[in-house]
Amino acid sequence: DGGITQSPKYLFRKEGQNVTLSCEQNLNHDAMYWYRQDPGQGLRLIYYSQIVNDFQKGDIAEGYSVSREKKESFPLTVTSAQKNPTAFYLCASSITPGRDEQFFGPGTRLTVL
Amino acid sequence: GQSLEQPSEVTAVEGAIVQINCTYQTSGFYGLSWYQQHDGGAPTFLSYNGLDGLEETGRFSSFLSRSDSYGYLLLQELQMKDSASYFCAVRYNAGNMLTFGGGTRLMVKP
């Protein structure tokens, strides 16, 4: 089955530690996105990538970093510079950049203690 | 950044019809989408409107009025499984980013 996988589902880290969230897709989509969702709120774009080896900052990129070395993979690193990293992180993809239909992974709930 | 306005909560009974509104800033507007998200789950795409009018997909319909900077999602024959959060999302300036609203939590009661 085609889709997007994110691992792990739940992640706990100590304050001051960097952590990398995994996102893999086998849909052969060109574009991939990372969103942050806080309780009771909408999705805010962290980074997006239109093509391999290219990525652009979204609205809240500070304290985060990404890479896109393979079409299928778009990992997100939450660095110690992110002031309030506890949140629900969602990865998405679309067949091409600029398509409004995005396909989402199940999300990773990160808790920083 | 651009902001979208939608009600935070709506309650309706099974079998009823409910309308969830979304207003947006006009400048650079390109298109309006709707997503559904169950608690703790992944958002799923419901519909897209680029032009004025109504788009129908089964029990769900979405409407856009560009002149009023307004759209809505209409859910008919409500079922308990429709209890979820619904987000409108706007693309501005034909760019590659979607801006999401804060979401409307729909509670369907028996």
- Low-confidence winner among A69-78, A94-103, B57-66 (lowest mean pLDDT): A94-103
| Closest C-alpha to B48, from B36, B37, B63 | B63
For A55-84, how does the pLDDT look when each residue is reduced to its tens digit (9 = 90+)?
A: 999 999 999 999 999 999 999 999 988 889
For A83-93, how does the pLDDT look when each residue is reduced to its tens digit (9 = 90+)?
A: 899 999 999 99
- Give how far A58 is from chain B: nearest CA, Å: 8
d(CA B86, CA A109): 20
Contact B48 A101 (CB under 8 A): yes
Give chain A's end-to-end CA distance (angstroms, integer): 36
The enclosing H or E element of A76 equals: strand A76-78
d(CA A7, CA A66): 15
For chain B, the residues whose C-beta falls within 8 A of a C-beta of chain A are: 1, 8, 31, 33, 40-45, 48, 87, 89, 91, 94-103, 105
d(CA A7, CA B60): 32
d(CA B32, CA A80): 35
Q: Which residues of chain A have a CB within 8 Å of the CB of B103?
A: 40-42
d(CA B29, CA B91): 6
